[in-house]
């Protein structure tokens, strides 16, 4: 996810900065938030996403993300529809606080499709370190641990969409930059569900890793891990 900032105004996009937006009517500075959208519903088709009826992204494919949009802070009604159709599959209000950034994930199987929003943080670590977090968006996968080097648990006992009930699970941790051999393991066991060998974590970067696909899936719907670099 590139940290490209666009302005979002009632369905129109324009390049913007990360400061305050001007209200052209009275010159008042308006508080600004930013958001990105990530398509993580493995069996869903391409989608159109709207906020307060304004088009955010069209023909949006599984595994893609939008980059960041800057917008006036407040509550937005997000709607998701199959591309080129008029029926909203999801209609959900998401509140964005001033000077905060959010990732809005489209998750779950297509028959249960929903949105979940997590607060982001672009603050980079020192150049010899990285900031990382893990989110679980594989609906049929069990609880998992993320293990580094066979022994170090970076994220433990994570279950599907668990951060929705515990915001602390959206927090980043800081680790040394380098190349890691990571495993997604059945929680509390040595059973490897998905090896992530030779994972390069570049110094000064901020990463979100998220489980996607289905534990019982195949091909493009197989269990996998998506990667977002928040400060490219």
Strands 129-136 and 173-176, bridge-based pairing: antiparallel
**Nearest-10 Cα torsion for 172, 177, 182, 188:** -50
pLDDT (tens, 9 = 90+) of the chain, 232 residues, equals: 644 445 555 444 433 333 333 344 455 567 889 999 999 999 999 999 999 988 999 999 999 999 999 999 999 999 999 999 989 999 999 999 999 999 999 999 999 999 999 999 988 999 999 999 999 999 999 999 999 999 999 999 999 999 999 999 999 999 999 999 999 999 999 999 999 999 999 999 999 999 999 999 999 999 999 999 998 7
Q: Does domain 1-120 have CATH number 2.60.40?
A: yes
pLDDT score for 227: 96
Contact 94, 34 (CB under 8 A): no
**Per-residue pLDDT at 5:** 47
Rounded to whole angstroms, the Cα distance separating 209 from 215 reads: 17
Q: What is the pLDDT of residue 25?
A: 47
- The DSSP secondary structure of 132-186, one letter per residue, reads EEEEE--TT---EEEEETTTEEEEEEE-TTGGGT-GGGG--EEEE-EEEEEEEEE
What residue ranges do the domains of the chain occupy? Answer: 1-120, 124-232
Task: For residues 230 and 206, give the distance between their C-alpha atoms in angstroms, rounded to a whole number.
Answer: 5
Per-residue pLDDT at 110: 98
């Amino acid at each position: 996810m590139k940290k490209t900032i666009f302005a979002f105004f009632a369905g129109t996009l324009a390049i913007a900065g990360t400061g305050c937006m001007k209200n052209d009517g009275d010159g008042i500075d308006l508080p600004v938030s930013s958001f990105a959208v990530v398509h993580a519903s493995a069996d869903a088709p391409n989608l159109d996403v709207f906020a307060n009826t304004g088009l955010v992204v069209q023909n949006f494919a599984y595994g893609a993300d939008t980059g960041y949009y800057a917008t006036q802070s407040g509550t937005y009604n997000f709607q998701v529809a199959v591309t080129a159709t008029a029926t909203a599959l999801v209609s959900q209000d998401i509140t964005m606080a001033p000077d905060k950034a959010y990732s809005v994930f489209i998750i779950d199987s297509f028959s249960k499709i929903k949105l979940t929003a997590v607060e982001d943080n672009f603050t980079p670590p020192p150049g010899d370190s990285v900031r990382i977090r893990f989110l679980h968006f594989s609906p049929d996968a069990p609880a998992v641990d993320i293990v580094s080097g066979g022994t170090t648990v970076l994220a433990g006992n994570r279950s599907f969409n668990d951060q929705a009930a515990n915001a602390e699970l959206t927090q980043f941790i800081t680790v040394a930059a380098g190349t890691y051999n990571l495993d997604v393991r059945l929680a509390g066991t040595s059973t490897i569900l998905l090896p992530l060998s030779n994972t390069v974590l570049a110094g000064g970067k901020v990463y979100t890793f998220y489980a996607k696909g289905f534990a019982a899936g195949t091909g493009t719907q197989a269990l996998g891990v998506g990667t977002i670099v928040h400060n490219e």
